[in-house]
């Protein structure tokens, strides 16, 4: 019997459209894997077993089944995005346990494309920190369950890396997709501003974006295209940008490979005083050499990060938490969350939450990205922290460990430029290596083209060993 748990979303959807397998069979296999493996990983807060099977039957009954880009594909959703009929706890005991009346627009787009929501994944409280732990549980890295899966989309990343679902939905306000993707050996794409609907309350003053976590460039491209509202052409298995959602780069989502790109390599940290570990810099340098060998023009060049950058992003990071905590009982919030919100309120009183910081940063970056198509950097600066109850530790300890591990991601939230993390190489610890790609506005598909090229030249293991052993 063919096993569908552990297969790519692209393979599953094609098989369902052709009638090789039913959505219910696919979903049932994934639910069985979740039941057998999630106890040691902690990816899910809620598993919608009965509801997901009913949803799968509804997909099978759709008249447009043969036209659905994600036909029957199981998907996990980060627990700060509303899923109709489920509570949205956002990692906290302080949030209301009231079922959502409607799907978030991104969830609605996935369901309209034929995906089946199998569960909601763990996040740190209010999605603040880069380790996913809290009152609802701890999400662990499937490659090494003693280490964190990262955050804040850690549960979603753990679910994909463990082969519990082929793709998952998350979001990224300071690296919250790219950090767990880097820890767990996945592709995590933070779209540029305006490419995918956000609707996350304050959205950390415009820094947050919703995006996909996937194990292949094809799956990341497929899921991003659905989230961006593109139309699927079942005749040739491609997505075509719709008139309403064309964005800066319309057209088919197939890899172009049309010209060599100008790529800048930099392992310089944007945050003064935070160094990138030699192993992580060396992996990114190896990726740069690989791209140069493939015909791209690669040079070492450093973006002109402002000295004030760390202060600006800390203010927005904390200020967004202060907004999200409004109306919640502070007695039910973890101490690190309360302190972070207090820092955000103080930043507001100091006038550090001005709206012109993005424009000022992009004015500095524009000449750099006028010269280079893509920036290549390490995705992380060091190994992720232990999988532990970091929510019980002090605020400063959390801020310091997060900053030391992942200083490379926040600039691209403030700038609004598209950025992704992707697997590359293997660390001495046996954990997946990862690099970050950053592009110009509207270059999400170009970034994914480069991922596809590196995937072909330096293929990676899609899922952690325990997941592969159960195929």
Domain boundaries, the chain: 9-469
Please name which of 207, 124, 123, 131 lies closest in space to residue 397, comparing C-alpha atoms. Answer: 131
**pLDDT of 90:** 98
**Rounded Cα–Cα distance for residues 43 and 162 (Å):** 9
The CA radius of gyration of the chain, in Å to the nearest whole number, is: 20
**Rounded Cα–Cα distance for residues 213 and 199 (Å):** 19
H/E stretch holding 363 reads helix 357-371
Q: In this structure, what token pair is assigned to residue 370?
A: 């006028």
467 to 4, 112, 165, 458: CA distances (angstroms): 13, 29, 11, 21
Three-state SS at 192: coil
**Rounded Cα–Cα distance for residues 223 and 202 (Å):** 25
For the chain, the straight-line distance linking the first and the last C-alpha, in angstroms and rounded, comes to 11
In the set 92, 153, 176, 217, the catalytic residue is 176
Average pLDDT on 261-281 reads 97
**Rounded Cα–Cα distance for residues 259 and 241 (Å):** 22
Three-state SS at 390: helix
Q: What is the sign of the dihedral through the CA atoms of 196, 201, 202 and 207?
A: negative
Three-state SS at 123: coil
Average pLDDT on 381-404 reads 97
Give the length of the chain.
471
H/E stretch holding 145 reads strand 144-148
Instruction: Name the pairing type of β-strands 116-121 and 74-78.
Output: parallel
Instruction: Name the pairing type of β-strands 187-190 and 209-214.
Output: antiparallel
Convert the pLDDT of each residue in 316-351 to its tens digit: 999 999 999 999 999 999 999 999 999 999 999 999
Q: Mean pLDDT lowest for which of 143-152, 248-257, 303-312?
A: 248-257
Q: Report yes or no: 344 and 303 within 8 Å, Cβ to Cβ.
A: no
pLDDT at 249 over 60: no
**pLDDT of 232:** 76
**Rounded Cα–Cα distance for residues 217 and 102 (Å):** 30
* Bigger pLDDT: 107 vs 245: 107
Cis preceding-peptide flag for 152 (omega within 30 of 0): yes
Please name which of 375, 412, 404, 175 lies closest in space to residue 275, comparing C-alpha atoms. Answer: 404
How high does pLDDT run on average in the chain? 94
How many CB atoms are located within 10 Å of the residue 338 CB? 18
**pLDDT of 248:** 36
Please name which of 179, 399, 162 lies closest in space to residue 170, comparing C-alpha atoms. Answer: 179
In the set 92, 152, 153, 443, the catalytic residue is 152
Q: Which CATH class is domain 9-469?
A: alpha beta
Convert the pLDDT of each residue in 438-466 to its tens digit: 999 999 999 999 999 999 999 999 999 97
pLDDT at 388 over 80: yes
* CA 354, chain centre distance (Å): 27
pTM of the model: 0.95
Q: Is 78 a catalytic residue?
A: yes
Q: In this structure, what token pair is assigned to residue 397?
A: 């300890």
* Helix-helix angle 444-457:217-227, to 10 degrees: 170
């Amino acid at each position: 019997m063919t096993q569908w748990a552990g297969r790519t979303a692209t393979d599953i959807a094609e098989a369902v459209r052709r009638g090789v397998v039913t959505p219910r069979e696919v979903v049932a296999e994934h639910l069985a894997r979740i039941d057998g493996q999630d106890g040691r990983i902690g990816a899910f807060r809620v598993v919608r077993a009965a509801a997901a099977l009913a949803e799968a039957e509804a997909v099978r009954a759709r008249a447009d089944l043969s036209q659905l880009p994600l036909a029957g594909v199981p998907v996990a959703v980060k627990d700060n995005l509303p899923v109709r009929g489920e509570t949205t706890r956002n990692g906290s005991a302080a949030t209301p346990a009231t079922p959502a009346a409607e799907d978030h627009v991104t969830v609605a787009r996935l369901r309209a494309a034929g995906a089946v929501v199998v569960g909601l994944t763990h996040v740190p409280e209010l999605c603040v920190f880069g380790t996913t732990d809290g009152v609802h549980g701890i999400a662990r890295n499937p490659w090494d369950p003693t280490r964190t899966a990262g955050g804040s989309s850690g549960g979603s990343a753990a679910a994909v890396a463990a082969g519990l679902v082929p793709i998952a939905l998350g979001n990224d306000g300071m690296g919250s997709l790219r950090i767990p993707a880097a820890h767990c050996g996945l592709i995590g794409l933070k779209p540029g501003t305006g490419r995918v609907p956000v609707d996350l309350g304050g959205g950390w003053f415009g820094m947050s974006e919703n995006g996909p976590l996937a194990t292949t460039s094809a799956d990341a491209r497929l899921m991003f295209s659905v989230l961006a509202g593109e139309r699927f052409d079942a005749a040739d298995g491609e997505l075509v940008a719709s008139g309403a959602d064309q964005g800066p780069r319309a057209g088919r989502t197939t890899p172009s490979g049309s010209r060599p790109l100008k790529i800048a390599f930099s392992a310089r940290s944007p945050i003064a005083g935070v160094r990138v570990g030699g192993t992580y810099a060396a992996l990114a340098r190896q990726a740069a050499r690989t791209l140069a060998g493939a015909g791209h023009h690669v040079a070492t060049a450093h973006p002109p990060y402002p000295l004030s950058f760390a202060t600006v992003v800390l203010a927005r990071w904390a200020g967004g938490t202060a907004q999200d905590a409004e109306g919640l009982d502070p007695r039910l919030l973890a101490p690190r969350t309360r302190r972070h919100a207090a820092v955000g309120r103080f930043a507001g009183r100091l006038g550090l939450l001005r709206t012109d910081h993005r424009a000022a940063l992009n004015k500095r970056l524009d000449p750099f990205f006028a010269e280079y198509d893509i920036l290549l950097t390490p995705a992380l600066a060091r190994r992720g922290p232990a999988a532990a109850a970091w929510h019980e530790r002090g605020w400063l300890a959390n801020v310091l460990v997060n900053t030391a591990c992942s200083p490379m991601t926040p600039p691209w939230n403030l700038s609004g430029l598209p950025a992704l993390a992707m697997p590359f190489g293997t660390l001495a610890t046996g954990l997946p290596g990862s690099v970050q790609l950053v592009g110009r506005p509207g270059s999400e598909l170009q970034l994914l083209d480069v991922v596809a090229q590196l995937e072909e030249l330096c293929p990676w293991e899609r899922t952690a060993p325990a997941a592969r052993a159960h195929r």
